[in-house]
């Protein structure tokens, strides 16, 4: 069974940083791109960032470019999202998602999310 | 990266069919062939129900179907059931190698 487990969220003051982690299991981790999607409380989904299977490609939403950095450690079956210069509008549940194989562009497995709350 | 436009809410009675639209307002989505749909129940993670406009993953009910016309993709739910009461989001791959979600639609089964 495919599993993605996020951690690292919490309550943080504006301007501070957090490092979100996602550990995958039940699939060949180094074969798949992994993405982050966030959802503010009571609102819709927003794609945040993605990283290719070998870290050769990293992409970001305009809203987080320059503040967030994605990385992965295939030996640890983990993906990380370093979130800096946090703003109140970054408050959201952050989901780690697995992209489909090959050139498929869908997200076929989702974690349960880790909640980031930015408030003074 | 403008969000795709969906109706805020749609409703239907058990057994009926309903359709949710997902309209792209910019050319960022290219040919719009990489549209996927996700179902989300309250407090749960989203679930993939349609990919590449009209393909259903294994295990997803055949009551869900997808289509596309021009810059508008659609999700149709046939034979509406109580368990279909949920939020639905479309998503598209863009020409900038990024992704954009729709604004989301709340489906209410009356």
Which of B96, B97, B101 has its CB closest to that of A45?
B101
At B1 the pLDDT is 65
B36 and A106 in contact by Cβ < 8 A? Answer: yes
Task: Report the gap between the CA of B17 and the closest CA in chain A (Å).
Answer: 24
Contact A12, A117 (CB under 8 A): yes
At B25 the pLDDT is 86
**What gap in Å lies between CA A120 and CA A91, rounded to an integer?**
12
Banded model confidence at residue B29, pLDDT cuts 50, 70, 90: confident
For β-strands B9-12 and B105-109, DSSP reports them as parallel
At B27 the pLDDT is 77
Banded model confidence at residue B96, pLDDT cuts 50, 70, 90: confident
**What gap in Å lies between CA A99 and CA A112, rounded to an integer?**
16
At A103 the pLDDT is 83
**What gap in Å lies between CA B33 and CA A107, rounded to an integer?**
15
Q: Identify the bridge partners of residue A70 per DSSP, sorted by sequence position.
A: A81
> Could you tell me the mean pLDDT of each successive run of 10 residues in chain A, 120 residues long?
97 97 97 97 97 96 97 98 97 97 91 97
**What gap in Å lies between CA A28 and CA A10, rounded to an integer?**
29
Q: Is A45 on the interface with B (CB under 8 A)?
A: yes
Q: Is B2 on the interface with A (CB under 8 A)?
A: no
Percent of chain B with pLDDT over 70: 99
B45 and A110 in contact by Cβ < 8 A? Answer: yes
At B31 the pLDDT is 82
Task: Report the gap between the CA of A43 and the closest CA in chain B (Å).
Answer: 9
Percent of chain B with pLDDT over 90: 85
Contact A73, A19 (CB under 8 A): no
B103 and A108 in contact by Cβ < 8 A? Answer: no
A107 and B48 in contact by Cβ < 8 A? Answer: yes
Which of helix, strand or coil describes residue B27?
helix
Q: Give burial (CB, 10 Å; 0-12/13-18/19+) of B71.
A: middle
| Neighbour-count burial for A65-94, b at 16+ CB within 10 Å, e otherwise | eeebbbebeeeebbbbbebeebeeebbbbb
A61 and B34 in contact by Cβ < 8 A? Answer: no
> What is the pLDDT of chain B when averaged over all its residues?
94
Segments of chain B assigned E as strands: 9-12, 18-23, 35-40, 47-50, 64-69, 72-77, 86-93, 99-101, 105-109
Contacts 24+ apart (CB under 8 A), B56-59: B57/A108
């Amino acid at each position: 069974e495919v599993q993605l487990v996020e951690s690292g969220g919490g309550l943080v003051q504006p301007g501070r940083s957090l490092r979100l982690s996602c550990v995958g299991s039940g699939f060949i981790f180094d074969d798949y791109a992994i993405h982050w999607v966030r959802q503010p409380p009571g609102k819709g989904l927003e794609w945040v960032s993605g990283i290719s299977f070998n870290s050769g490609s990293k992409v970001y939403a305009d809203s987080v470019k320059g503040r967030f950095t994605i990385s992965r450690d295939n030996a640890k079956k983990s993906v990380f999202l370093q979130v800096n210069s946090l703003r109140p509008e970054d408050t959201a549940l952050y989901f780690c998602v697995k992209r489909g194989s090959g050139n498929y562009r869908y997200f076929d497995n989702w974690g349960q999310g880790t909640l980031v709350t930015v408030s003074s | 990266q403008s969000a795709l436009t969906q109706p805020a809410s749609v409703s239907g009675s058990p057994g009926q069919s309903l359709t949710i639209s997902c309209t792209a307002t910019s050319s960022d989505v290219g040919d719009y062939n990489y549209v996927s749909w996700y179902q989300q129940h309250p407090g749960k993670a989203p679930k993939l129900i349609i990919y590449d406009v009209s393909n259903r993953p294994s295990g997803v009910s055949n009551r869900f179907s997808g289509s596309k016309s021009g810059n508008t993709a659609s999700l149709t739910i046939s034979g509406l059931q109580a368990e279909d009461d949920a939020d639905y989001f479309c998503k598209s791959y863009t020409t900038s190698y990024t992704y954009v979600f729709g604004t989301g639609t709340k489906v209410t089964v009356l």
